[in-house]
Homo-oligomer: A and B are copies of this chain.
């Protein structure tokens, strides 16, 4: 199955999610409505709702809670991006101006708060207690991840374990929650719940690793994103961490100096990429991401084959650039 076929399988659900999002915002403040609609129509791929829907359907659930639970996840995801962009001072996301650059940091902070509250109202209205706990805990963990990431910014002594801690919280918990909720809606066994959580968790890690690799070494035309954002923001991600395990003392000094500067520029990016090329960091990093995706896929062994399972596998592979 191709990724395109996989998306086709949940197209109707995703349309329902889009409709739900539009109907659900409900605010008496026109500016908030405008900002939230701007954010929600940013052309995001709704990956988390896709996996929630596929997980639910793979387990035999086809009920009406998929749009509401997906909306809650998108609210939390969007609120996190909104506040991240403020912290990173980001001017663009998906080729469009960020909300903070269009409306200012103050409005962006408050619209993030609005989205968090909106998510809990919808969660209270449609979610059972277990699902409520999964998602509010995920949101808490994500804020922790952002703090850890901030504290590790520019820290050349960051370890691979630190990195896993950060991307677990930033990315993997919400994918894990999305897949778990699919299973909870279908009321499958705890063993299957564990398998879905693991699938989402490892998928999230592999996906974030791939994103971090592309940020240094992606084809800018294909990804639509400029290389080097993480470098400019002083974030040490997988390729740099892998690189630090390989370099000699002189190269380590160059990298240390680079990250201890207040700002980094395109020359720094070129220098760093040249050293990465020397040590084949792209291959090494991709191998690591692949390991996590393989763990993700093998978590699904417990489930009988069906089209939804095939779709989850196809999309997981596409997300890390395999058989895309």
Residue positions of A touching B, CB distance < 8 A: 27-29, 31-32, 79-80, 83, 86-87, 106-107, 109-114, 116-118, 120-121, 123-125, 129, 132-133, 136-137, 139-140, 142-144, 146-148, 150-151
Interface hub of A83, A106, A124, A148 (most chain B Cβ within 10 A): A124
CA distance A132 to B79 in the complex (A): 20
- Chain B nearest CB from A71 CB (Å) reads 14
How far apart are the CA atoms of A148 and B150 in the complex, in Å? Answer: 31
- Chain B hits for A125, CB < 8 A: 133
Tell me, in angstroms, the Cα distance from A107 to B147 when the chains sit together: 7
Q: Give the interface SS of chain A, mostly helix, strand, loop or mixed.
A: helix
Alpha-carbon distance A116/B140, docked complex (angstroms): 8
| Inter-chain contact A112/B113, CB cutoff 8 Å | yes
CB distance from A115 to the nearest CB of B (A): 9
Q: Which residues of B contact A83 (CB under 8 A)?
A: 109-110, 113
CA distance A142 to B120 in the complex (A): 14
**CB-based contact B116/A113 at 8 Å:** yes
Q: Beyond the given A87-B109, A87-B110, A116-B139, please list 20 additional residue pairs across the A-B interface where CB-CB is below 8 A.
A: A27-B140, A29-B144, A29-B147, A79-B113, A80-B113, A86-B109, A107-B150, A111-B143, A113-B139, A113-B142, A116-B116, A116-B117, A118-B140, A120-B123, A120-B136, A120-B139, A121-B133, A121-B136, A123-B136, A124-B133
